[in-house]
Amino acid sequence: MNPLLDFTGLPRFGKTTSHSTKLSKDDSQVAGYAEIKPEHVAPAIEQLLAENRALITKLLSDSTPPTWKSFVTPMEDANERLSRAWGPVGHLNAVMNSPELREVYNATLPKITQYYAELGQNLALFVKFKALRNSPEFAGLSAARKKIIENELRDFRLGGAELPDVQKARYLEIQERLSELSSRFSDNLLDATNDYTLLIESKDELSGLPDDVLQAAQEAAQEADKKGWLFTLKAPSYMPVMQYADNRALREKMYRSSGTRASEFGKAEWDNTALMDEIIKLRGEEARLLGFANFGELSLASKMANSPQQVVEFMRELSRRARPFAEKDLAELREFARDELGVDDLQSWDVGYASEKLREQRYAFSDQEVKQYFPEDAVLPGMFKLVETLYGLQIKKSVAPVWHDDVRFFDIRNQQNQLVGQFYLDLYARNSKRGGAWMDDVITRRRKVSGIQTPVAYLNCNFSPPVGEKPAVFTHDEVITLFHEFGHGLHHLLTEVEDLGVSGINGVEWDAVELPSQFMENFCWEWDVVRGMSRQVDSGERLPRPLFDKMLAAKNFQSGLQTLRQIEFALFDMLMHSSFEAGGGKTILQLLDEVRAEVAVLIPPAFHRFPHSFSHIFSGGYAAGYYSYKWAEVLSADAYSLFEENGVLNPDVGARFRSEILAMGGSRDAMQSFAAFRGREPSIDALLRHNGLLETS
């Protein structure tokens, strides 16, 4: 039996099988990753696609009026079976990348893309959904099922179902080409990142770097059969160099190498320049085919924001509020670099280093000092305890098939010891793993004949692994990243919706999906939480209150600069997808220069190629949606203010957040869920206050 078919978790057509929520191979709840081989992928996916198409034909040939049970449920089953087979393939391609897997993934991806594009364009299916919407049954359906049907009708229109046949064919070509280009963009960036190593043979060149960073670099050199210290462009290696290395030439070399990845400055086959132009051009063509003026309008058709102009105005207003703080941040940094470090011409590769030195002087602590208080075996239990306190849950280590020895698996149970959800935790960076941090769904909660299907999530980070006998230690920023991704995970796992299309993060507007993740970040600044998840890695002492107070005082250090940086990315993204024409006389880099001239105070050197590694919008689903980080931050800051008013560890407020935000999934509009929790619509004031961007603060 092909393992990709064996682990789809649903019966084959024509058979009935009962399923329980126990985790075992027999129940097909999660994939046996070690059993999945590249040669399994194409046969399994082709078989599932053939079966799904046969089912669609059968459903469309049925002349009886469609009902939820006879029409929607079989389609949900079939599409879930396909996603449960394809999901582990995409996941392994991201976390255990190999030439063989990449080849079969990229060869199969167009077939998946074509299938979903065909569904979205199927006018007969659209007619069936409209008939169900207009049927007597619709009035008696649950709110979740009504929302699914309304979403489907919207998505058929956005998928080109009403287009003439010639335009449908072109739309399908665009979708297939875009999926290919996005995958290549990601591959190029991974290859360019992995290709670069820098061997330093003299320790004198590495002054300022922390001991654990040096030890990790030395071990990396030894693994490569070299003597000295080996550095890479992966975050756990790259970031400490930029933050701590006294050697300015070393910082510049690493910065230049990182900033020119996947561009014309490297290998031609890894250059993303032409890919980006084609992606933007095709997205614009797709939007115009569907009757939109630009891709920004198309993207926002299923989001909270109403128009590209509204987003641009929101970002520009936030820029106006943040700019005085950013200008002050930069002036202070330049003065400090000149007077204390002897750097008269502050460059981009000096900013991280000078900022760390300034923070150390101003607040009398360093990130490296704080890092020693956050070993993994204290942080994880502390984070779990917070969730247990807020939501009345228990998180226990469990067992499941994994793809790497570093991966762990956990159960979430309620107070009655019933299984609520499960998640994988894959925390460390490695060559086969793409950069960044992300949550993805493995299995989504839904009600089946046999009962409730338990949701499962992947939580992925790229932290430094343990060095020697000590546990891994995290910077406070990494702790915040972990909380952020766990917030996404809880959104997926704590849903109480029983219909697949709006369960968990399904159906949630993209610009609201960051609300639960950013909300979780706030607890990383609460003494009662932080103290409980700290332990000095050598002495075992808790984080001292005076050091925490210094961290708190430094919380909004350079907040103005950081806010403008996010605005720069968001404005660039939205303008590129709304008022920019690829190949129209202005390049993507020139557009970015214009955005920086408008909103940035700190401008990178001319050689820097930021767009070439901007995975969020070219291969990560955030196209014309990067603004959602700031948009959702308004929601999350305002939501958290209710905890601040009633006690941040208040289980009653926690229960309310769980029931009105997390449990609802996409079964109602995000603004309705927010208002149900907060009692009103959101205000920007809490965000400005949290970020120290109020004039009175």
Reference 519, options 323, 418, 351, 387; nearest CA is: 387
Q: Is 397 helix (H, G, I), strand (E, B) or coil?
A: strand
Q: What is the rounded distance in angstroms from the CA atom of residue 169 to the CA atom of residue 177?
A: 12
The per-residue DSSP string of 295-363 comes to: HHHHHHTTSSS--HHHHHHHHHHHHHHHHHHHHHHHHHHHHHHHHHH--SS--HHHHHHHHHHHHHHHH
Question: Which active-site residues does the annotation give?
Answer: 485
Q: What is the rounded distance in angstroms from the CA atom of residue 645 to the CA atom of residue 295?
A: 41
* Residues 93/101, Cβ–Cβ less than 8 Å: yes
- Per-residue DSSP letter, 375: B
For 32, list phi and psi in degrees, rounded to 5. -90, 90
For 408, list phi and psi in degrees, rounded to 5. -120, 165
Q: What is the rounded distance in angstroms from the CA atom of residue 262 to the CA atom of residue 272?
A: 6
Q: What would the two tokens of residue 447 be?
A: 């009600």
Q: What is the rounded distance in angstroms from the CA atom of residue 581 to the CA atom of residue 223?
A: 47
* Residues 383/486, Cβ–Cβ less than 8 Å: yes
- Per-residue DSSP letter, 30: S
User: Which stretches of 96-164 are DSSP H helices?
Assistant: 99-121, 123-133, 137-140, 143-158
Distance of CA 11 to the CA centre of its chain: 31
Q: What would the two tokens of residue 520 be?
A: 């979780």
End-to-end CA distance of the chain: 64
Q: What is the rounded distance in angstroms from the CA atom of residue 501 to the CA atom of residue 152?
A: 9
Q: Which residues contact 526 (CB under 8 A, 6 or more apart)?
A: 648, 649
Largest Cα separation within the chain, whole Å, is 81
Distance of CA 684 to the CA centre of its chain: 23
Q: What is the rounded distance in angstroms from the CA atom of residue 152 to the CA atom of residue 175?
A: 18
The beta-strand segments (E) located in 464-549 are none
Q: What is the rounded distance in angstroms from the CA atom of residue 170 to the CA atom of residue 45?
A: 24
Q: What would the two tokens of residue 63 be?
A: 């002349």
Secondary structure tally for the chain: helices H, strands E: 28, 9
Burial of residue 412 (CB within 10 Å: 0-12, 13-18, 19+) is: buried
